[in-house]
Structure 1
C-alpha cells in the first residue's frame, strides 16, 4: 500500500482564463507527499504558493490535473465530497491564527471535534493532550486575547490537528512572529508532526526553518522543483 497521502499530478491554474489578461499561475505541478514527511514550499511572493495550497486543500479547483488524497481523486468531485475530505483528512494553519475570540483555547480545539460528532468530554480530553504536546496546557482556559502571539499560533496548530487529519497544510505559519518565537512555535509544530505521523506541506519565507524540514521544493515558473532553501530569496 502506498504511503503517499497527497498527490498532485499535472496541476494547472489560470486566472482570467480565456481573456486578454490571462495569468497562468501553475503550469503542471507534480508533488507526492508521504505520511510522516514535512516538506517546505518556498518561492518569491506572488509565485502562487497560496494558490497551490488552496488546490491541495480542496478549497479551490485546478483547471487541469489531478488531486488525490489517500489514493482517491478528489479534485473534480462534488462540493459535498470535498467538504467531507477537508473535514476528515486535512488540517489548515495560516499566518494569522483565526481563533474564535469568544472561546477559550480548549474550546477552540474542542469545537471542530464536536462538529464531527465527538462528545464534549472526549473532545476536551484530546484538546488538553494537544495543548500539553505544544507546551501551553496551562493556558487552556484563556481566550485568544489573553495569549501571546506564539501561544495563539500553537493553539491554532492544535485546532488544525484536532480531528486527526492525514495532511497538514500551513501557509506562512510563523510569518507574524519574531525570530525567537518563530523558532519555538516551529519546534512545537515539528513535535506535533513527528508524534502524529501526518504529512505536512509548509509554505514559508523563513529559509532557516525550511532547511530543518525533510525536503524543500521550490515553486519556479509555475512548476515545482526540488532545491535548497537558500536558493530562493
Structure 2
C-alpha cells in the first residue's frame, strides 16, 4: 500500500454519447503525488484534466483503475464514506470562486468548518488566520460582491483549506484573473499550501506558474507524460 498523498493507477474514463460517438477521455493514467509535494498538471483544453481531478477528488468515478488517498483504497466506497473523505481530506479550488453571495468572506470560510462539526469560535479564529495569511484580513466582513476578483479567489483558497485537508486539488485556480493579479494570487496560494504542509495537484495552462511548483506532468490525449 502506497503512503503517497494521492496515487492513481490505470485510470480510464469514457463518456458514452452513443456509438460511434464514445469519447475516451483518460487512457490508463498513472499518477502519484508525494506527501508535501506540489505538482503542476499541464494540459491543453479538452485533454481531460478536469475529469482527472474530479476522479482524484471522488466527485466522479473511473471506468477502470484505482484511486488511493493517504494510502487508502477508495474503490467501491459507499456514497456516505466518499462524502466524508471529500469533506475531511480533500480541498477543491476551481477557476471561478463559487462563494456564497449572501455571506461574508469570513462566513464563507466558517460554514464548511461548522458543517464538519467545529465550534463556531474556533472556526472563526481559523478563518481569520487564513485570511491573514493571504493578506486580506481587513476584508473579512465584506460579501463577495464587494471584493475584487483576486480577493474572491483568495477567500476560495481559504475555504478549501478550512478543514485542514491532506490533499488540495485545483483546476486553473488563477485562470479567470489578469496576469498581474494571477501572479499575486498564486503567490498567496503557494504560501497557504507550503505553510500547511499539504500535498497539491494544480492544473494550469500557465507555464510560468507551473515552473514554480515542485514537479510538472503533462496530460495529453488521455495519457500522462513528463512535462
The answer to whether the superposition gives a TM-score over 0.5 is yes
Cα displacement (A) at 1:3: 4.5
Match of 1:203, SS? strand
Cα displacement (A) at 1:221: 2.1
Matches within 5 A, 1:1-233: 3-16=3-16, 19-227=19-227
Counterparts of 1:166 and 1:96, CA distance in 2: 22
Q: Deviations over 1:197-233 (max 9, x none)?
A: 1111111111110111111110022111112xxxxxx
Cα displacement (A) at 1:36: 1.3
Cα displacement (A) at 1:75: 3.4
Cα displacement (A) at 1:18: 7.5
Q: CA RMSD in A?
A: 1.3
Judge conservation of contact 1:61–1:76 (CA < 8 Å) in 2. Answer: no
Q: Deviations over 1:157-196 (max 9, x none)?
A: 0000000000110011001101110000000000011000
Match of 2:41, SS? strand
Counterparts of 2:28 and 2:127, CA distance in 1: 39
**Superposition TM-score, scaled by structure 1 size:** 0.95
Cα displacement (A) at 1:19: 3.0
Counterparts of 1:105 and 1:35, CA distance in 2: 29
Q: Deviations over 1:17-65 (max 9, x none)?
A: 7832111110011111112111111111101010000000100000000
Q: Deviations over 1:80-124 (max 9, x none)?
A: 111011000000000000000011000000000000110110000
Which ranges of structure 2 fall in alignment gaps of 5 or more residues? none
Equivalences, count: 227
